[in-house]
Copies of this chain bind each other. A is one copy, B any other.
């Protein structure tokens, strides 16, 4: 077996949990997040989990909504930690087959900051990696992660292989992830697919984050917004019908 002495210390991860349940209420998604964050912590990654609904994050599409009429807005503070993170995980529940309003709010606020550039002129999210974790009792893991992973790559993150994991039960209402069943066991906790995917996702996030960090980010050529706006075209030529 490959050497397991991987050192990911120095990496930071930020996880957004889009549950609609405020603390101290239980979030089933939190349990799935824990699979991933336990592995990361064990290997030296600094981890912060933010339950979005517990925070006074304004709704809107500007970096700081206090400049646009909001009395308060925690987002600018949270965004500072996003800036320092190497790994961003969008986690949350499924409602009516889709991501929650809390997950959408975070995507809107991340998007609001997408005009910011790093020192090389790339979008500020360049160099980060993204993943997604979804739970529900019915149906929709892939639908939700198609959207979360798409959003993250559109912002500038790298998406590692198999960067999503989730759990749902048989179609229809029923127990949620981690609920105690009649026989005393816990729903979903022995699901090999969920466990394997959460594990593989976590390692791939760490591998790619480290690879990018060691490389100093994504090579800065052909992808700098500031250069493009200044007229650089990076060998782009107008296409012609053959």
Contacts and interface: CB of A to CB of B under 8 A. Distances in A.
B172 A191 contact: yes
Contact of A96 (B111, B138, B188): B111
Nearest to A188: B170
Nearest to A69: B22
A55 interface: no
A108 interface: yes
B172 A2 contact: no
Nearest to A145: B150
Interface of A: 1-4, 6, 20, 22, 26, 30-32, 34-35, 38-39, 42-43, 53, 59-61, 69, 95-102, 104-105, 107-108, 111, 120, 122-123, 125-126, 138-143, 145-147, 149-151, 153-164, 166-173, 178, 188-196, 198-200, 202-204, 206-208, 211, 215, 218-223, 225, 227-228, 232-242
Given A61-B95, A96-B108, A139-B140, 8 more contacts: A20-B108, A31-B241, A34-B242, A59-B101, A96-B107, A153-B161, A199-B235, A200-B223
